[in-house]
Structure 1
Amino acid sequence: MGFRLLFAGLGVGLSLWLVGILVFGNPYPEFSAQGAAMMDMVWGRISLIDLYAGFFVGIALVWFLEPKAWVRWLITLATPLLGNPVLALWLVVRYRHLLTLSRHLLREVSER
């Protein structure tokens, strides 16, 4: 329990730090210019496609494996805003549940 609480606190702390940088750092004037520069570069477009594909796959797994509807919605809304640390935090917090699901699935597959 202490391990999960430590990582959950770390994830929440880092997410709040990121939000603080975004809100108090006033990155918005630069955001548009830097976004345009990324879209002008081939590897910038590839990086954005990779990033959002990862978000989509991670959120799809959450919707498939998470039993609580409010958690699914929270992850769906928070991931595009705060990034992959949200998905990493979910994996840490739900580790035992996911381990139980995987053992059950492996047992079913081996019985066939």
Structure 2
Amino acid sequence: MKLLQAVIAAATLGLGALIIIAVADGSFYEAGSWLFSEPWGLVTLADLYLGFLLSALIIWFFEPRPLKALIWILPIPILGNLWTAVWFVIRLPHLRERMARR
């Protein structure tokens, strides 16, 4: 379990580094324009937000208290999969334990 948590944490740091590099490039407007003007850009956004929705559902069903679940879910559309990955790193042992009981 610790190894999987470490892999997810490393991937999260890598994604964070890519985001920093992209922000430093300063072409967010151009990239956004392309995303909204091209069919594959729209597919990419739809895929991204479907992933956000599925992650939110997993968090909702596994967090014991609705308020705590909302605290984790509401930032997902803004912080994206970085936020979701942090939740997985923290909650992975609990997820495994709960799933093993079924």
TM-score (norm. length: structure 1): 0.62
Q: Residue type of the partner of 2:43? A: I
For residue 76 of structure 1, the aligned residue among 54, 74, 77 is 74
Letter in 2 for 1:23: V
CA 1:92–1:25: 2 relative to 1, 3 Å: same
**Secondary structure at 1:101 match in 2:** helix
CA RMSD, Structure 1 to Structure 2 (Å):
3.1
Q: What corresponds to 1:14 in structure 2? A: 14
Aligned partner letter, 1:73? I
Counterpart code for 2:10: L
The percentage of counterpart residues that share the same residue type is 28
Number of matched pairs? 101
Q: Secondary structure at the match of 2:99?
A: helix
Where does structure 1 lack aligned partners over 5 or more consecutive residues?
Answer: 107-112
Residue 3 (structure 2) aligns with: 3
TM-score by length of 2: 0.66
SS at match of 2:26: coil
Question: Once the 2 structures are TM-superposed, how far is the Cα of residue 59 of structure 1 from its aligned partner?
Answer: 1.1
Q: How far 1:56 sits from its partner (Å)? A: 0.5
Q: Distance in 1 between matches of 2:51 and 2:91?
A: 19
Q: Deviations over 1:18-64 (max 9, x none)?
A: 331243110223133212322xx2x4433422321121111121122
Is 2:61 aligned against 1:90? no
- CA spacing shift, 1:72–1:12, aligned 2, 3 Å: farther
